[in-house]
Amino acid sequence: MSKVKTAFFCSNCGYESAKWLGKCPACNEWNTFVEEIIAKQDKKDTIGWKSYNSEPLFSKAVSLSEVSATEQKRLLSNDTELNRVLGGGIVKGSIVLVAGEPGIGKSTLFLQNALQMKDIIILYVSGEESEQQIKMRADRLKINNEQFYLLTESSTQTIFQEIKKLKPQLVIVDSVQTLQTNLIESSPGSISQIRECAAEFQRFAKETNTPVFLIGHITKEGSIAGPKILEHMVDTVLQFEGDRHYTYRILRTLKNRFGSTAELGIYEMTGEGMRGVTNPSEILITQKEEQLSGSAIAASMEGLRPLLIEVQALVTQSVYGTPQRTVSGFDLRRLQLLLAVLEKRGGLHFGVKDVFINIAGGLKVEDPSIDLAVICALLSSYEDVPLSQQICFAGEVGLNGEIRAVNRIEQRIAEAEKLGFEKIIVSRYNKKGFDNKKFDIEVVSLSRVDEVYQYLF
């Protein structure tokens, strides 16, 4: 009998070694090597795609000037949020990896999108659920599609035989961690299996010009399960995130070869599936009957989309020796920086106060333009004076207490005007970036934090 071939793989980055190592030479992590069986079969068993297309496939070197630069036509789904996140639609021949927490709604979102695309043949491959389970979910979504085909299989050889017969125009695989190829004898979900299965689907997508969506799991640390090379192999990586205590879900782009990585899609989880939220600003701002201190509205940007979000602050007298600094949806180090600016430039004693910051709606915001709203919410809670509900803020705060200019100021002002705000406070250095006469909203330009304090209080 032939000897069983094994190799050691780093469970963090996928580095392959002939023997066990304590420290991975590629990612410098310790104790990450696991042994896997890698008895590869002959290449004769691999599936080729020569006969899939009508025109024969062959590769040759071409001059860059000979390549036509026409805009490639994309497949448009009925979901405008997904189209935006992908950069304008699904690129033919692309391979997209979608990852997220268990139960967040990845399978529901892509089953719903597949059922809504009624003009193309779609194959939905599931290695996790039975046909009856998927049928139950489809019945809940109340969408019927005669062009939608279902395959419950985890062997890639069987999947590709079905693909050859059906010739679908879109393939969705749920999930890549359940796939298994006969070329490698390790168990499904192992590093070598994930890498080989993803490579087979990548080869299929590129050679047949068919888009493929791979749904993936994430680890308890929040990173995508499997080797890091999985993210390098695919064209686009989407992260589906959200708090299961909120009904809102966010689809972020981590990598996109065909569009911007700053885009964001917002969904609301309903009993009949995922509903795209076209105007998230109205949801993220709480409608209050009475005015309360410690609340300010920030005009931020997520990708190319303006968002108005509510920043809540609570400043109380500290009862411990060390004052508390607690944040939700905001960077803690950024908060400490802003408090230092208020201490030094405003003469306000936050060193003896507990400070809590919350971004309403469960969002995580990284846009520096919400600095001004955070400072105004802190000042409002500190003085216990409510801010007007008709005013919003857009500005970054520097270490010298100056209010710095932010990008795309016109879009922020237009969004604030659309939602009925009467005033927006921006940086004086932003004055060149917009024409004041174009807007009905009053634009107040200030240059320092102490000026904002005197203006508001």
Binding residues for ATP: 100-107
The token pair at 303 is: 């990708």
Cα distance from N-terminal residue to C-terminal residue, the chain:
86
Cβ count within 10 A of residue 11: 18
Residue 2 burial by CB count (10 A; 0-12/13-18/19+): exposed, middle or buried? Answer: exposed
Please, which residues have CB within 8 angstroms of residue 69's CB and are 6 or more apart in sequence? none
Closest CA to 341 of 395, 416, 300: 395
Please, which residues have CB within 8 angstroms of residue 329's CB and are 6 or more apart in sequence? 358, 359, 362, 363, 364, 365
Q: What DSSP string describes 179-213? A: -B-TT--SPTTSHHHHHHHHHHHHHHHHHHT--EE
Residue 188 burial by CB count (10 A; 0-12/13-18/19+): exposed, middle or buried? Answer: middle
Say which amino acid occupies 246.
Y
Q: Hey, CA dihedral for 358, 381, 308, 360, is it positive or negative?
A: positive
The token pair at 25 is: 């030479």
Closest CA to 93 of 57, 40, 138: 57
Please, which residues have CB within 8 angstroms of residue 252's CB and are 6 or more apart in sequence? 85, 238, 239, 241, 263, 264
Strands of 103-143 (E only): list them. Answer: 122-126
Please, which residues have CB within 8 angstroms of residue 30's CB and are 6 or more apart in sequence? 22, 23, 24
Identify whether the C-beta of residue 208 lies closer than 8 Å to the C-beta of residue 94: no
**Residues contributing to the annotated binding site:** 100-107
CA–CA separation, 412 and 309 (whole Å): 12
